[in-house]
Amino acid sequence: MSRQPHRAADRRAPYHHEQGQVTAFVVTFVAALILMAGLVLDGGLVLAAKRRAINEAEAAARAGAQQVATDTYRSSGRFVLDPARARAAAIAYLAATGDHRTVSVSGDRVAVTVQITQPM
């Protein structure tokens, strides 16, 4: 008995008729990865901008809350905010940021709102 050598063409994979299926999968998978990377990057930028706005608002409110009416404190011993100085101090702190802001003083509270536009 003589054996004939097997040729490479005879040893094809059982699914040789599905050529190109892996390529379509890889293209779809890479596109999905790029999309997810973009969403992660954009989401990170939005979260960073939100944290920056919160930090700026808190710091400006602290600057305003430090403006105590010293005459009232010396005469009565009560801590009372000087509303004009508190508002001016908060606005002065936020002047360097260039972001849209709203400052209001009511009683012993300084409320600061900061709006940041994050380019994508």
Q: Which residue ranges make up each domain of the chain?
A: 19-115
Q: Is 79 in contact with 108 (CB distance < 8 Å)?
A: yes
Closest CA to 104 of 117, 114, 119: 114
Structure confidence at residue 96 (pLDDT): 86
Output the pTM of the full model.
0.68
Q: What is the DSSP letter of 52?
A: H
Structure confidence at residue 18 (pLDDT): 60
Q: Which residues, in sequence order, are CB contacts of 104 under 8 Å at separation 6+?
A: 87, 110, 111
Closest CA to 88 of 109, 69, 67: 67
Angle, CA of 55, 56 and 57, to the nearest 5°: 95
- Spans in the chain with pLDDT lower than 70: 1-21
